[in-house]
Chain A
Amino acid sequence: MPDQPERPLPIFPEPDTEPFWSATAGHRLTYQVCRVCGQVVFHPRRHCTGCTSTDLEWRDSAGLATLYTFTVIRQNGQPFFRARIPYVVGLVDLDEGFRMLAEIAAEPDSLHVDGRVCLTWEDHAGLSIPIFVPGP
């Protein structure tokens, strides 16, 4: 059987984002909050972007979000994505106050800007990929 192309995954070692991806193995979507000034920090990193603290705590997101914008990708030369066309990628605003890029697993016509989406997972060895679907 021919090899199926695989989804590109994050590259390690990468100390800022490794804790985030480790948590996904347990289906936890995590983000950071500064213990000093309360700033929500995303993407993950070691320092606070709101003040000069490096005292950040990890929190779990409930995975409920609003779809800020999206596109339907209809051309991509990368083998995994070429086989997946058309697919939807969007920016989602999590209720906890951070925005992330993600795939939206849905018929494009069923989606609209500012619609509600929620988190599901696609499992891989050692980590899972956050994917959003319409709802709840």
Chain B
Amino acid sequence: MMAAPAAAIAGIHEFEKRVAGGLSPLQIKAECAARALEDAGLTWSDVDAIYDAGEAGRYQGLTIAEYFGITPRVVDTTAVGGSSYEFQAAHAARDIAAGKASVALLTYGSTAHSQSRAIGTGARFPAEAQPAANMERPYGLTLIGNYALVARRHMAQYGTTPGQLAEISVITRRHAMRNPQAVAGLADIGFSSVREITTGDVLGSRLIADPLHLLECCIVSDGGGAVVIVSRAVAAGLRKRPAWILGTGEAVGYPAAAADLTTTAAARSGPEAFGQAGVRPDEMDIAMIYDSFTITVLAILEDLGFAKKGEGGPYVSGCRLAFDRPGGPALNTDGGGLSSNHPGMRGIFLLIEATRQLRGESTSQVPGARLAVAHGNGGQLGTRHAAATIVLGTE
């Protein structure tokens, strides 16, 4: 029998707009933190552990407690790109289980859209000299191109088709159209036509980096969020149903001779998380999978064990992962990074929507959802990436 989980997500908030209207990333973080604490029925002085990816400034681990006005006993500045929040949730659960903390606060804020940051098609190299970057800088591999390397190999190795990848965009948009904040956001960031899409729409959109099309790429929004993770003792006194952290796994992947590019670090973080939770992938009601691009989702679904390696294409076909279809978990029911919210590091929204589902609060609610997996992928899938898997349950 598994030990009773020690920590649960008790408070969540997603910044409601996709254009921040002049707010700074720090202001977004603080607003989301305050709303998430209210959601949990807690306040600033209850927070004793803080987790921060440093996206709103250097040395944020030093300054964010002062900005929020809290006195933490635990400070964790894990920053591994978009999956930082799954890593942080794993660490918070561990810190709470160890008795070092009782109320952990994770926050995120970004104004990527307002700053017109070309995340997918701009330079992605550090300004200072670094060995790996020195070998790659001359070649103009964009972030989207990096993921496209994985997609091309997946297609060549397993016969995966562009239409199968496009299904992921179609499902995600369908879920987004049920989420009023996503619908408003798509209009606010400049989509001329906000509607459901078909695989034909996806394949008819322009190629950005072959074989990936525009509608296979996440949007660039402003936004942010906060997650409050609490101990069993704290959870007992709160009004919202806790989303228990049942299992966690962390891994990184990087280039190596003869490495199989189609297998991501999720192949290691997933089994660890499911093993700790004592549940199987096919028991998941909800799959919140980091959808920076369609190929990210396809490869991770395989690596987490939802489909055999190479069979992700047929697996996602026929709208199998829609919230109202049997035969698989509901995928990215908030509309995902592809169609709802991607300000650069989406990982926190995976935890937030998984929690909504377990509470019964999603706009694409799966009735009676009891188990959810949130899998974050940070960095770049074709070269170096950081993956963490969080399994959540209603108990």
Please list the residues of chain A having a beta carbon within 8 angstroms of any beta carbon in chain B: 7-14, 16-17, 20-21, 40, 42-45, 68-78, 80-81, 84, 87, 89-91, 93, 97-103, 108, 112-114, 129
Contact = CB atoms under 8 A, between A and B. Distances in A.
B258 A76 contact: no
A28 B210 CA distance: 31
19 contacts: A8-B138, A10-B137, A10-B138, A16-B131, A20-B135, A44-B135, A71-B141, A75-B209, A76-B122, A78-B123, A84-B140, A89-B141, A89-B145, A91-B149, A91-B255, A93-B258, A100-B135, A101-B136, A101-B255
B249 to A, nearest CB: 23
B142 A73 contact: yes
B112 interface: no
Interface stretch (B78-86, B150-158, B231-239, B350-358): B150-158
Contacts, number: 132
A71 B129 CA distance: 26
Nearest to B256: A99
Interface string B126-138: 0011111111111
Given A10-B134, A42-B257, A71-B148, A78 B140 contact: yes
Given A78-B122, A113-B152, A72 B137 contact: no
B123 A68 contact: no
Nearest to B153: A69
Nearest to A39: B257
Interface of B: 118, 121-123, 125, 128-142, 144-145, 148-150, 152-153, 156-157, 206-212, 255-259, 261, 382-383
Contacts of B122: 76-78
Given A11-B134, A73-B141, 18 more contacts: A11-B128, A11-B133, A12-B129, A21-B134, A40-B257, A68-B153, A70-B149, A71-B212, A72-B210, A75-B121, A76-B122, A77-B123, A78-B140, A81-B140, A89-B145, A91-B255, A101-B255, A112-B156
Given A10-B137, A71-B209, A43 B258 contact: no
A71 B128 CA distance: 27
A77 B140 CA distance: 10
Interface centre among B121, B134, B156 (most CB of A within 10 A): B134
B129 A10 contact: yes
* Central interface residue in A10, A16, A75, A90, by most chain B CB within 10 Å: A75
B118 A77 contact: yes
Contacts of B118: 77
Given A16-B131, A40-B257, A114-B156, A69 B150 contact: yes
Contact of B135 (A8, A77, A101, A112): A101
